[in-house]
Amino acid sequence: MRNTIYVNGRYDGIGNRLEELLRIEHHCISNNLMCFYYWDNSGNDDRRYPILFKSVNIRIQDKVKYPINMIGDIGWMTSREQMIVAAKNVRLIKPLELVNHAYIGVHIRTGDRIRHPVPHNDFMDVRMFREIFEFTIKQINLEKPEYIFICSDAKDYRDEMISRLDSDINVIDPLVTKYPLQVYNDFYALSNATKIYMCSKFSSFAITASILTNIPIVSFFEEGESNLIRYHANVIIVRLPQKFGSVMYAQIMRWLLSFKIFSHRVYTLLHRI
């Protein structure tokens, strides 16, 4: 008989919840454990979901919170190989029928990922998001895939991207059958693309969708520039080019700092004379 652990799960977005399930599944595989997991819907209304995943070594329920939470005893994965093994044991709760041709996916993530001031490296300001958005359109038009699926938490940006894609690119909804929850449909469609463009500095939604089916995710930043490095995903890095204004600003700040240091040294030298 296997030992058991109990975890009260995260109450935020789907990507964060799935990352936690993958982490627990790896821990259970490594230690021959069974986990009882509470699917927490105590957060904001827009972050309350029915149970969306099933896992080989995790029993998920959303009725009773456990008196103990052993998440602190569970370590983090340290390699892509570990993540691949864990992901094979976790699945979306309901299979959906898909179109019979390949497509790439795009996730435009805005919402609370845009902050001013920017609190840490998983976030971005409006200027940075706009640069990412413009570069995503440019890259897709260069690649010119025959079919593309685009989902977003901002309809206006999705509509703008569609209007600016090459006329030979077909924007599709790849789902033949649907689940009665749009966020589930978006996640399912993304996870079955041939690759995902992450149109954001960071999106756990897009990252975990790529991990679930082991497909590439395109990031415009190095993995270490956000928490992307923690996920051990199949990442393709396409560096976001620095805008002229951004380069000039950085150069001016370096000049000013050099001038300040130089002035201070001159001031100190004069007072020694």
pLDDT digits (tens, 9 = 90+) for 167-180: 999 999 999 999 99
* Residues shown for the chain: 273
Task: Specify which residues 155 forms β-bridges with.
Answer: none
Q: What's the pLDDT at 263?
A: 55
Average pLDDT for 5-23: 97
Q: What percent of the chain has pLDDT over 90?
A: 84
Q: What is the mean pLDDT of the chain?
A: 91
151 pLDDT exceeds 60? Answer: yes
pLDDT band at 43 (very low <50, low <70, confident <90, very high): confident
Lay out the sheet containing 104-108: strands in order across: 170-171, 147-152, 104-108, 196-199, 217-219, 235-237
Average pLDDT for 146-154: 97
Residue 150, phi then psi, degrees to nearest 5: -125, 125
Find, among 127, 106, 115, 120, the residue nearest to 217 by Cα.
Answer: 106
Average pLDDT for 242-271: 50
User: Looking at per-residue confidence, does 43 or 18 come out higher?
Assistant: 18
How confident is the model over 66-90, as pLDDT tens digits? Answer: 999 999 999 999 999 999 999 999 9
pTM for the predicted model, two decimal places: 0.88
Q: What's the pLDDT at 45?
A: 83
Cα dihedral 205, 207, 213, 214, rounded to 10, equals 180
Distance of alpha carbon 25 from alpha carbon 36, whole angstroms? 11
253 pLDDT exceeds 50? Answer: no
257 pLDDT exceeds 60? Answer: no
252 pLDDT exceeds 80? Answer: no
246 pLDDT exceeds 90? Answer: no
Distance of alpha carbon 83 from alpha carbon 207, whole angstroms? 12
Specify the DSSP class assigned to residue 78.
-
Q: What percent of the chain has pLDDT over 70?
A: 89
Distance of alpha carbon 178 from alpha carbon 4, whole angstroms? 35
Distance of alpha carbon 39 from alpha carbon 34, whole angstroms? 16
CB 70 within 8 A of CB 7: yes
Distance of alpha carbon 192 from alpha carbon 172, whole angstroms? 13
269 pLDDT exceeds 90? Answer: no
